[in-house]
Structure 1
Amino acid sequence: MIVVEYPTREPDRPTAPGLQDILLELVRREPIFHRPELGTTREDFERSTAPDFWETGASGQRYSREYVWATIEQRQLATPQDPPQRDPWKTSDFQLREIAPNTYLLTYTLQQPDRLTRRLTIWQRTNSNWTILYHQGTVVTE
């Protein structure tokens, strides 16, 4: 009988030591669009997303920047809060990789009450501002 040994399924995903401060900065911004302390207005949204921003949801559907804003706006109207509260979601397993000058791929796990997803956001630092270029969620099935 031949036994084939498979390598470890999970990839080694270390964050370089020189990126730890940036990692901590970006962790405080996730999950995106669910941090009221970072702004809730259209102007805040436009400042934090690239003009050609889009995302792929956990459903596999692609969403334009305008569609994402409309969804955020609807959420705010549906659940008025004073002051806005954070969602009770748990984030974990953050990893950061620099993919181009001042551009970073942030990955993490998001636990919501009804599902577990893997998330990625591509962030770019412009001057003193962070801008989201792309975001994606993938449902974990096991």
Structure 2
Amino acid sequence: MDLATHLIELERCLHTASTRQNAANLLSDDFREFGASGRIWDKPTMLVSLAAEEHYPITSDHFVFQELAPGLALLTYTATTPTRRSLRSSLWRLEDGHWRVLFHQGTVIPNP
């Protein structure tokens, strides 16, 4: 499996309820997120938020993969939930042989 396919698979895993309940191994210790809501999260805050959230379906498409440097890659894509669509970007870093999200950002796509 090539790196792009692997990271897209990991990103989609983060969209599932079972992974969201236990996402610690996919987030870097220095993880940060700028959410579509405007809120900023670090890893501990995100893990508490994910564990407490009510599950909702997330679909993702239009993935674009860019390898920025050895061990560092960017994924951008569109995510859709029952209430909104957003543009997403995830910066993935290879840490101790495992790919983890270092940074994530969401930007709401306004309704036409």
TM-score, length-scaled by structure 1: 0.67
3-state DSSP of counterpart to 2:10? coil
- In 2, the alpha carbon distance for the partners of 1:139 and 1:58 equals 6
What stretches of structure 1 of length at least 5 have no aligned partner?
1-19, 80-86
**Could you say what the CA RMSD is over the residues aligned between the two structures, in angstroms?**
2.3
- In 1, the alpha carbon distance for the partners of 2:97 and 2:37 equals 33
- In 1, the alpha carbon distance for the partners of 2:11 and 2:61 equals 10
Structure index of larger Rg = 1
Pair 1:35 & 2:35 matched: no
What does residue 99 of structure 1 align with? 68
* Displacement of 1:32: 6.0
Q: For residues 72-120 of structure 1, what are the alpha-carbon distances to aligned partners after superposition, in whole Å with 9 as ceiling and x for unaligned?
A: 1212xx56xxxxxxx5322110001112221001000011111110000
3-state DSSP of counterpart to 1:29? helix
Which has a greater percent of strand?
2
Matches for 1:8-87 after TM superposition, within 5 Å = 21-31=2-12, 33-35=14-16, 38=19, 40-41=21-22, 45=24, 47-75=25-53, 87=56
- In 2, the alpha carbon distance for the partners of 1:48 and 1:60 equals 22
Q: 1:140 aligns with which of 96, 103, 109?
A: 109
How many aligned positions are there? 111
What stretches of structure 2 of length at least 5 have no aligned partner?
none
Q: Percent identity?
A: 29
* Displacement of 1:61: 1.7
Is the contact made by 1:48 and 1:130 (CA closer than 8 Å) also made in structure 2?
yes
TM-score, length-scaled by structure 2: 0.83
C-alpha distance 32-64 of structure 1, shift in aligned 2 (>3 A): farther
